[in-house]
Amino acid sequence: MDGAGVLAPEGRWLASWVAAGRHGTMEYMARTLDARVDPRKLLSGVASVIVLAAEHTRQDPRRGPAPGSIARYARGRDYHNVLGKRARVVARLLRSRGHEARSTVDSAPMFERAWAGRSGVGFSGKNCCTIVPGLGSHVLLATVLTSARLEPDAPIPPRCGSCRACLDACPTGAFAGPFELDARRCVSYLTIENRGPIPEPLREGIGDRLFGCDECQEACPFCRTAPPPEGATAPFALDRRWVESDATTFLRLDDASFAELTRATPLRRPGRSGMARNAAIVLGNAGSAVHVPVLAEAARSDPSPVVREAAAWALRRLRDRLG
């Protein structure tokens, strides 16, 4: 979009969201509020923000270690790498024509969703995901800031109407209302960004979700479109490691083997202890008697107290569930 100025109304919403504590432990959100709403903090002389959207694979909705599911976007290569290369091509083209340019894919404090709305790429749904007409919300965003003055596209007004399917589908009740996500209750936040224990009242809602959650997107009518051609989303194709693994794998890994298993994938984000914690909770919710030994070993000897506590909880839950 042209005329890249301060995101005033969006900035006020973001500031109130942080003030309410809904960002949880993501303190970087509070530290970078100014930059998120003012692109001049990232590139002086910025005149336009280009927003790029790439659709990721939508096949096999529940694929992942069994028991355990992985959010669709994280089943293949790390989107930071895939989209980063594409965005850098655009930035290089602009620089070759004498303009300043900077590309970002979650690598700088950009309010991508707000810019996607301003630029006409999509609109923000009640679940706070960007919905691209014809594609739904199964997209990943990148931005390019540039000094070039480009012809802007018209924003797309929200189209959710009275629908609240996404709000009702949330397994942990993370929505305080339409467009009001409380990250502290969101499965994606709890299993990825949160580094401490997952609050016990929310653990049952985690279900078998090992990493992230797609429930509010799966429920959205705008996401009921035909899957993209396989070639179009090839970089995000299911990584065979997740088919050949079991959730118990993440309870047995040391730091080095975890780093190797998750190399070049989004699953590295929570760290070894975060994924082991998630695996323990998944086994408590969806495991069977065969998982008791690995949980007992983790509860006894895992180097992380967070993992030991989660494994002990899972053992109690398994025993209660299995009688």
Please answer whether residues 206 and 187 qualify as being in contact, where contact means their C-beta atoms are separated by less than 8 angstroms: yes
The alpha-helical segments, DSSP class H, found in the chain are 8-19, 27-31, 33-37, 79-96, 112-119, 165-169, 187-188, 200-206, 215-218, 240-244, 249-252, 255-261, 271-286, 292-301, 305-322
Structure tokens given for 155 = 């924003």
**Catalytic residue among 106, 153, 246, 255, which?**
106
Return the number of other C-beta atoms located less than 10 Å from residue 218's C-beta: 18
- Pick the closest to residue 217 from 289, 309, 122 (CA basis): 122
Q: How far, in Å, are 225, 305, 309, 320 from residue 299 at the CA level?
A: 44, 9, 7, 17
Residue in the block written with tokens 């303190």: 27
Long-range contacts, stretch 300-309, CB < 8 angstroms, 24+ apart:
302/251, 302/273, 302/276, 303/273, 304/272, 304/273, 304/276, 304/277, 306/195, 306/196, 306/197, 306/273, 306/277, 307/251, 307/273, 307/276, 307/277, 307/280, 309/197
- Strands 139-146 and 130-131 turn out to be unpaired
Question: Which residues are CB-contacts of 170 (< 8 A; sequence separation ≥ 6)?
Answer: 127, 186, 215, 216
Instruction: Give yes or no: 320 in active site.
Output: no
Structure tokens given for 142 = 């990148």
Q: Which residues of 14-24 are buried (b: 16+ CB within 10 A; e: fewer)?
A: beebbeeebbb
Could you list the active site residues?
106
